[in-house]
Amino acid sequence: MTGNLSLSAAQALFDAQPGWLNTASYGLPPRTAWSAMQSGLDEWRHGRTSWEEWDSSTDRARRAFARLVGAADEDVSIGSAVSQQIGLVAAALPDGARVVAPDVEFGSNLFPYQVHASRGVDVRTPPLPALLDSIVDGVDLVAVSAVQSATGEVVDLAEVAARAHAVGAVVVVDATQATGWLPVGVEHVDALACAAYKWLCSPRGTSFLYVSPGLRERVRPLAAGWYSGEAVHESYYGPEVHLAHSARRFDLSPAWHCWVGAAPALELIEQVGVQVIHDHDVRLANRFRRGLGMPDSNSAIVSTRLPGAGERLAAAGIRAAERAGSLRVSFHLYSTDADVDAALTALS
Ligand SMILES: Cc1ncc(COP(=O)(O)O)c(C=O)c1O
């Protein structure tokens, strides 16, 4: 499937208004996703179908995500938000466990551990450059984003995992700012969560959690419901609970119409290929960096301290973000050279 849609053919499926440099906040949908969602909403409005039609998109999206990260379908669960899914992993930590995460880690892969302080879960937050040195004997879990939300820094997951596994710690990765533009696989990690509404161009309310078969045994399906049943249609009522043996046991009941939009969006990313998207996104980011006299980097996200930049971009109709006191711009498959140049002109 990968590579059977050219980048330019994919770009023609987007309706981005020039100047959207904020995919790190939310990604834009391809027309295939938008239309599928509108049809689903119209069916809902008129009561034209049963929910099973919409729900078939949930497994389609799960399978597409599994292929994107090189996981087996049965190791991927679905939910609505990363924090909710990471919360399951955090609850599996024993009392007194030690967690290490970078200090600027996005809250969804940090706060779910911190809320267990009352049972002795101890969360250390070194600066990112000191992360590796902080993974020492006694650490139980390392939480880190594949790409940092605030700065766009790309983390070497193989290196982190090697260090973590050497001391017997599990590695929990948040790939929300990575999957879709950076090839990230699950080969080094024990759990990987990803919200699909950014680089996977999907509606808000769609997220994934990969859990390795080894870790799955230790995680309690705290939000178990009918949708986490082994046979969904036979799981509406009690008295007994028969949970799925696969990671579907962690599924949250799907926000149907969001998944109707997510499936075609994920499939489009897959058809173009993450490596092709990576090369395009990073090329634009580096065009922007060079325009500001910055050295090239390896990220689709650029963060820089430029006083007044936010106002100047906004005045030129360019939508970017300010994070941790810096301007943050981000480039995705629908971003263009003209977007970069308009931003540079506004900042010059
Ligand atoms: C790294 C990262 N993870 C997760 C999220 C979203 O988290 P949640 O789905 O818990 O709202 C964001 C949003 O900015 C993010 O940057």
Kindly state whether residue 35 falls inside one of the protein's structural domains. Answer: no
Answer with the one of 242, 269, 296 that is the final residue of a domain: 269
Instruction: Kindly state whether residues 257 and 312 are assigned to the same domain.
Output: no
3-state secondary structure (DSSP) of residue 276: helix
pLDDT for res 280: 98
Alpha helices in 155-273 (DSSP H): 157-166, 213-216, 256-272
pLDDT for res 3: 78
Quick one: which atom of ligand 1 is closest to the CA of 86?
10
pLDDT for res 174: 98
Kindly state whether residue 130 falls inside one of the protein's structural domains. Answer: yes
Instruction: Kindly state whether residues 111 and 209 are assigned to the same domain.
Output: yes
Instruction: Kindly state whether residues 292 and 252 are assigned to the same domain.
Output: no
Instruction: Kindly state whether residues 196 and 284 are assigned to the same domain.
Output: no
Ligand 1 proximity of 186 Cβ (cutoff 6 Å): no
pLDDT for res 324: 79
Give the residue-averaged pLDDT of 287-302. Answer: 98
Contact assessment for residue 89 and residue 113, using Cβ atoms and an 8 Å cutoff? no
Indicate the number of domains in the chain. Answer: 2
pLDDT in tens, 111-170: 999 999 999 999 999 999 999 999 999 999 999 999 999 999 999 999 999 999 999 999
pLDDT in tens, 16-69: 999 999 999 999 999 999 999 999 999 999 999 999 999 999 999 999 999 999
Specify the pTM.
0.97
* pLDDT over 80 at 1, yes or no: no
- Strand intervals (E) in the chain: 76-79, 98-100, 122-124, 141-145, 170-174, 191-195, 207-211, 301-304, 321-323, 326-330
Instruction: Kindly state whether residues 215 and 315 are assigned to the same domain.
Output: no
Q: What is the rounded end-to-end Cα distance, in angstroms, of the chain?
A: 42
**Lowest-confidence range among 2-6, 56-60, 341-345?**
2-6
pLDDT in tens, 271-285: 999 999 999 999 999
For the chain, percent of residues with pLDDT exceeding 70: 100
Answer with the one of 222, 237, 269 that is the final residue of a domain: 269
Ligand 1 proximity of 206 Cβ (cutoff 6 Å): no
Residue 202 is given by DSSP the state -
Give the residue-averaged pLDDT of 240-264. Answer: 97
Q: Which residue has the tokens 């940090």?
A: 110
Quick one: which atom of ligand 1 is closest to the CA of 81?
9
Instruction: Kindly state whether residues 249 and 308 are assigned to the same domain.
Output: no
Ligand 1 proximity of 202 Cβ (cutoff 6 Å): no
DSSP string, 89-154: HHHTSPTT-EEE--TT--GGGTHHHHTTGGGT-EEE---GGGHHHH--TT--EEEEESB-TTT-PB
Kindly state whether residue 2 falls inside one of the protein's structural domains. Answer: no
pLDDT in tens, 80-98: 999 999 999 999 999 999 9
Kindly state whether residue 244 falls inside one of the protein's structural domains. Answer: yes
- Give the side-chain half-sphere CA count within 13 A for 298: 11
pLDDT for res 325: 84
Pairing of strands 207-211, 76-79: antiparallel
3-state secondary structure (DSSP) of residue 287: helix
Ligand 1 proximity of 192 Cβ (cutoff 6 Å): no
Residue 22 belongs to what domain range? 7-30+273-347
Contact assessment for residue 320 and residue 22, using Cβ atoms and an 8 Å cutoff? yes
Instruction: Kindly state whether residues 193 and 293 are assigned to the same domain.
Output: no
Instruction: Kindly state whether residues 164 and 294 are assigned to the same domain.
Output: no
Kindly state whether residue 289 falls inside one of the protein's structural domains. Answer: yes
Instruction: Kindly state whether residues 241 and 322 are assigned to the same domain.
Output: no
Ligand 1 proximity of 288 Cβ (cutoff 6 Å): no
Instruction: Kindly state whether residues 296 and 167 are assigned to the same domain.
Output: no
Q: 115, 176, 192: which to mutate for ligand 1, most atoms within 8 A of CB?
A: 176
Instruction: Kindly state whether residues 282 and 198 are assigned to the same domain.
Output: no
Kindly state whether residue 64 falls inside one of the protein's structural domains. Answer: yes
Q: What angle do CA 132, 134, 140 make, to 5 degrees?
A: 100
pLDDT for res 246: 98
Instruction: Kindly state whether residues 45 and 25 are assigned to the same domain.
Output: no
